[in-house]
Amino acid sequence: MKLIVMGSGTSHGIPVIGCDCPVCRSSDIRDKRTRAALYIQGDAGERVVIDTGPEFRLQALSAGITRLDAVLLTHAHADHIHGLDDIRALSWEHPIPVYANRATIAEMRERFAYIFKETQRGGGKPRIIPTEVTAPLTIGSLTFTPIPVKHGVLDILGWRIAENGAGEGANAHSKAAPSGNAKPETETRTAVYLTDTSLIPPSSLNLIRRAEVFIIGAIRDRPHETHFTFAQALATAIEVGARRVYLTHISHEHSHREIEAYCRGFLTDQELNGISVGPSWDGLELNLR
């Protein structure tokens, strides 16, 4: 499967309107961060996005999305869902299921009330099927497992993504690792996407273990009430045995290069080898084979 980090920025996007800090004025393309979102394309052509923020239309155009099987939402904050209307152009042929937890579905119905009412005259509307999710769901050969986490006081979802059904539940953990150099399938085709997280309940830890790719929200170096800092995100990723770690939902307090240096320092301080850690950027494409 292929993953594209469509947006890697925090809620206001970078550059921030009206800000003239060095990061907002940076000419490094990786310092332009639109609102956080992920695109997943399965080997059998499945196409799914996690979150539809304000730049969804532009992100979909640059990722080359021409069809969508589902939208998965982490939560209902503006930076994650207010571009939902723009799935309209992808929903003409068939309505698109939108999966989220109960609270997010309820808020989404409120924010997008016009979609579900007959009162609107003229102007198009997306065709969506709101679907509350409490268990893993399957789309073609992809399995998406909701991961309950805390975002401040909010209960939101991260997502575990596995191809060919590998890597989920007891099945994944009861399989013995093959001998020789072959990697177990559970490690080569599983990714975890966790944004806007400030706490992972112990009951969710198993769902984030042993992913080959771990994309985790890390807003900045300074503490934040509702988001992991760089250090908290990296410590979490190391704790669960991730080997390729990408930070996302990043603020304008640090440039891409500064965060790269921070991550290198973190690995050196912790004497960690064989792990790759760094900031993601808009358009970053990851192939899991």
Choose among 122, 20, 32, 126: nearest CA to 81. Answer: 126
Tell me how far apart the alpha carbons of residues 282 and 13 are, in angstroms, rounded to a whole number: 11
**Footprint of Zn ion on 14-53 (CB under 5 A):** 16, 19, 21, 24
Distance CA(236)–CA(148), nearest Å, equals 15
Q: How far is the CB of 211 from Zn ion (least distance, A)?
A: 21
Closest CA to 55 of 9, 91, 96, 97: 9
Judged by CB under 5 A, the residue of 32, 209, 210, 252 near Zn ion is 252
Q: Can residue 103 be called a binding residue for Zn ion (CB under 5 A)?
A: no
Stretch that binds Zn ion, among 62-70, 109-117, 240-248, 252-260 (CB under 5 A): 252-260
Looking at 72-80, 128-136, 159-167, 229-237, which segment touches Zn ion (CB under 5 A)?
72-80
Closest distance between Zn ion and the C-beta of residue 105, in Å?
Answer: 16
Q: Which is nearer to Zn ion, 55 or 196 (CB)?
A: 196
Stretch that binds Zn ion, among 54-62, 69-77, 83-91, 208-216 (CB under 5 A): 69-77
Candidates 6-14, 37-45, 89-97, 175-183 — which segment interacts with Zn ion by CB under 5 A? 6-14
* CA–CA gap between residue 152 and residue 225 (Å, rounded): 6
x/- map, 192-211, Zn ion, by CB under 5 A: ----x---------------
| Residues in the chain, total | 289
Per-residue DSSP letters for 186-250? HHHSEEEEE-S-SB--HHHHHHHTT-SEEEEE---SS--SSS--HHHHHHHHHHTT-SEEEEESB
Between the CA of residue 186 and those of 170, 177, 207, 242, 280, what are the distances in Å?
12, 9, 12, 12, 23
Residue choice 51, 79, 85, 212 for contact with Zn ion (CB under 5 A): 79
Nearer to Zn ion, 28 or 171 (CB): 28
Judged by the rule CB under 5 A, the positions of this chain that interact with Zn ion are 11, 16, 19, 21, 24, 77, 79, 196, 252
